[in-house]
A and B are shown apart, each in its own frame.
Chain A
Amino acid sequence: MRKLIVGNFVTVDGYYEAKDKTFDAFFTYYHKDYQGDQNFDYYNTELLRASDTLILSGRTSFLGNKSYWTSVPDDPNATPIRREFAQLIQRVDKIVVSDKIEPTDLAPWDTTRIVRVADAVEEIGKLKQGPGRDILILMGRILWNHLLPHGLIDELHLTTFPIIAGDGIPLFDGRPPVSLKLKHTRSWQGSGNLLACYVVTLQVE
């Protein structure tokens, strides 16, 4: 059985993104000593290396990711770790869960498979039963909050950034019927991030 791992960052006050649906606003309040901290990039790359399927959530996010990551190889200022991530995300099997996306949106990530929201639980359940390595969701809170009560998420890897955002969209939707066991944590010299990896178990009532 393949594991489905969620990698996500979160602010100290529990927000996923700002109310305008971007992450940029968070970083107004980012300690200058942490500017240029690449540890989150390194960790995401580590997760992606260990995975052979990446699930993306929503048309806007898919297009944003596609547009950004396909531009990285031509960006002279891109860091080496982002270059590696760009290669990995190009190659990995991708699924996009969205009701709005069309096949014409996919190029040049043509290998991406479209799954409609109503089919997501069944399709992802089937995917987990098949052969292969880890399945990954990076960010994508709407999708993974939707999957949590179905027992489809195996691990939550949450990196707390040293920011009190003050405002935003919370990471969790309500109270998912799951229990969490802390597997390990990681911190990095010179970084304000703390990674906590939780194993998720569905609580059957």
Chain B
Amino acid sequence: MRKIIVTEFLSLDGVMENPMWTFPYWNDEIAQFKAEETTANDVLLLGRVTYEGFAEAWPQRTDEASGGKYFNGVRKYVVSNTLDKAEWNNSQIIRGDILQEITKLKQQDGENLVVHGSGTLARWLMQHDLVDTYRLLVYPVVLGEGKRLFDEGVSAKLQLVDARTFSSGVTALVYEPVRE
């Protein structure tokens, strides 16, 4: 049974959209935190917007250090009813009965299903109580606008399983929802 890991860059006011504002804070500690999410047998589960951004950016970066080798190589599922084709290496579109498709993926043996960014998909997964772990990097910026990760209407009990502080002012919070 695979776990669904949602990993996000968040501003202090909860915005996840187009996280260009994270660049000045990047350091080895963040790189290490992100590297923990990129094990060889993981599968990526992405929304269309994040997929398209990744599919444009990553093929130009093929070295190991940048993560390019991993992102270009890893198996990717893009959840979209509008996308016609997914041409990035090792990509496949999930459409139609998305709940059934994702449940099938989740039941497979293997490592995690990792969701990077993909706000709409992440919120959909939350609404269906499918998220097993949140890995949140919280940046010391207040943006005031932009799409937020957590949409109104979804509540969850969480357990804090890890908290780390990085020298660039970023905090890492790892939560697991509690199902009773």
Contacts and interface: CB of A to CB of B under 8 A. Distances in A.
B142 A172 contact: yes
Interface string A13-44: 11000000000000011111100000000000
Interface string A175-205: 1101111101101000111101010000000
Contact of A162 (B14, B154, B155, B175): B175
A172 B157 CA distance: 23
B137 interface: no
Given A30-B157, A180-B169, A182-B171, A166 B150 contact: yes
B156 interface: yes
A180 B159 contact: no
Interface residues of B, number: 34
A160 interface: yes
A204 B175 CA distance: 37
B145 interface: yes
Contacts of B160: 162, 187, 191-194
B155 A165 contact: yes
Given A164-B150, A171-B13, A175-B143, A12 B157 contact: no
A198 B140 contact: yes
A13 B150 contact: yes
* Contact count band on A: 35 or more
Contacts of A165: 155
Interface string A44-86: 0000000000000000000000000000000000000000000
B140 A13 contact: no
A13 B157 contact: no
Interface of B is mostly: loop
Nearest to A25: B155
Contacts of A30: 157
Contact of B158 (A162, A174, A179): A162
Interface of A is mostly: mixed
B2 interface: no
Contacts of A158: 12
B171 A194 contact: yes
A185 B180 CA distance: 30
Contact of A172 (B12, B126, B170, B180): B12
Contacts of B180: 32
B163 A28 contact: no
Contact of B155 (A160, A164, A172, A179): A164
B170 A182 contact: yes
B40 to A, nearest CB: 30
A12 B140 contact: no
Contacts of A163: 155-158
Given A13-B149, A182-B170, 16 more contacts: A12-B134, A12-B158, A12-B175, A14-B14, A14-B150, A29-B156, A162-B159, A167-B152, A170-B14, A172-B144, A179-B140, A180-B12, A182-B171, A185-B163, A187-B163, A192-B158
23 contacts: A12-B136, A29-B155, A158-B12, A162-B157, A162-B159, A163-B156, A163-B158, A164-B154, A165-B155, A166-B155, A166-B156, A167-B153, A171-B13, A172-B13, A174-B144, A175-B144, A179-B141, A181-B169, A182-B165, A192-B158, A193-B160, A196-B138, A196-B171
